[in-house]
Amino acid sequence: MKDRILERLRIAYPDFVSGADLAQSLGISRVAVWKHMDALKQAGYDIAAQKGKGYRLNDAEQVLIPSLLKKRFHHTQWGTPLYYAERIESTNLWARRLLATEPIPEGAVVLAGMQTGGRGRLGRTWSSPQGGLYFSIILRPTLDLQRASLLSLVLAVACAQSLERFINYPCRIKWPNDVMIDGLKAGGILLEASGEMDRLDYVVAGVGINVNLFRQDFPEEMLGLATSLAMATGRNHDLNTLLAHLLEDLARDYYQFLDKGFEYYLELYKEYCVHLFQPIIVNTGKGRIEGIHKDVDVNGSLLIEVNGESIPISTGDVQLIHYQEE
């Protein structure tokens, strides 16, 4: 019933919906409507009640509504089943726990309104307050571990392209899989795989996007490093519409990657790479390398030129020495 009420309010937004109309459409009494509204307010939903007008869901763009999402997933092969929690430690962790207890098909999506223990690459934490998109996709590619690792690069460029079209604002990639806007991080991909070296059982692809977040929503250590779609464009974006849009684009590029390989995406990836031909610092497990980013090879490795020598790097963290959008 909660989802049905939220869906009705979201469709009507920014208008109010009368208690009588809600009662009639839901087949319940007006007293039951009032009780459900009170429960939603207690759960943290910002619902306005005005005599003579009814109820309105404020900040409706920020509210994920599973029943509404499922209706919007008809254009994509992903999103069935959909697992949703308003608050959870990590969607990747939840997805892996689900996989350990039940058979889950490719394309299932695990979604959260906020994460208390979101994670990024290299063991970092990912700030995940309400207003962002945090989801994991369960994939079952018939690939070995090395080829599957390229998925993070493919999904990153698919994500950057999709967001760019959605907000009509330039989005780029920082190697290997951070989504960047104006030289600041707006999102990222975290892949976790299970199986043998030559054959995977599954891949969990975690996606985190800063959507309707502003400066006050970020921890102090992220100020000057992170941004959001709302900060870039000056307006909020509907999370339900954006998620459906993203899943459609990510699914298309995933299956094209399985069919055509990473070579098909390599030039596009380099086109979106924000630091190609720029001076960078790469922090690897073996130390710190400073040079010019010259290329990305067919294995997804970053090639950095140091004193005339080209050095391939397969894992590490890139630091932009200075950002300049061409």
pLDDT of res. 124? 60
Residues 62, 131: Cα–Cα separation, whole Å: 5
Q: Which CATH architecture has domain 2-58?
A: Orthogonal Bundle (1.10)
Q: What's the Rg (C-alpha) of the chain?
A: 21
**pTM attached to this predicted model:** 0.86
Domain ranges of the chain: 2-58, 66-271, 275-320
Do residues 159 and 246 lie in contact, with contact meaning Cβ atoms separated by under 8 Å? yes
Residues 144, 203: Cα–Cα separation, whole Å: 11
> How does strand 302-306 pair with strand 287-296?
antiparallel
Is 2 a residue whose pLDDT tops 90? no
Is 123 a residue whose pLDDT tops 60? no
Q: Is the torsion defined by CA of 231, 234, 240, 244 positive or negative?
A: negative
pLDDT of res. 233? 97
The per-residue pLDDT for range 67-78, each reduced to its tens digit, is 888 877 766 779
Task: Please compute the mean of the pLDDT values over residues 19-25 and round it to a whole number.
Answer: 90
Percent of the chain scoring above 70 in pLDDT: 94
Phi, psi of 325 (to 5 degrees): -80, 125
Nearest residue to 9 (alpha-carbon basis) of 73, 50, 65: 65
Here the tokens at position 76 are 């994509």
Here the tokens at position 190 are 């975290």
Task: Please compute the mean of the pLDDT values over residues 199-224 and round it to a whole number.
Answer: 91
pLDDT of res. 204? 97
Q: Lowest mean pLDDT: which of 66-70, 129-133, 258-262, 283-287? A: 66-70
Nearest residue to 127 (alpha-carbon basis) of 53, 213, 246: 213
Q: Which CATH architecture has domain 275-320?
A: Roll (2.30)
Residue 119's pLDDT band, with cuts at 50, 70 and 90, is low
pLDDT of res. 140? 95
Nearest residue to 154 (alpha-carbon basis) of 198, 189, 183: 189
Strands (E), 104-163: 109-115, 133-139
Task: Please compute the mean of the pLDDT values over residues 176-194 and round it to a whole number.
Answer: 95
Phi, psi of 285 (to 5 degrees): -65, -15
Percent of the chain scoring above 90 in pLDDT: 62
Residues 273, 269: Cα–Cα separation, whole Å: 6
Residue 125's pLDDT band, with cuts at 50, 70 and 90, is low
The per-residue pLDDT for range 87-108, each reduced to its tens digit, is 899 999 999 999 999 999 999 9
pLDDT of res. 199? 81
Is 130 a residue whose pLDDT tops 90? no
Is 126 a residue whose pLDDT tops 80? no
CATH number of this structure's domain 66-271, picked from the four choices 2.60.40.420, 1.10.600.10, 3.30.930.10, 3.40.50.2300: 3.30.930.10
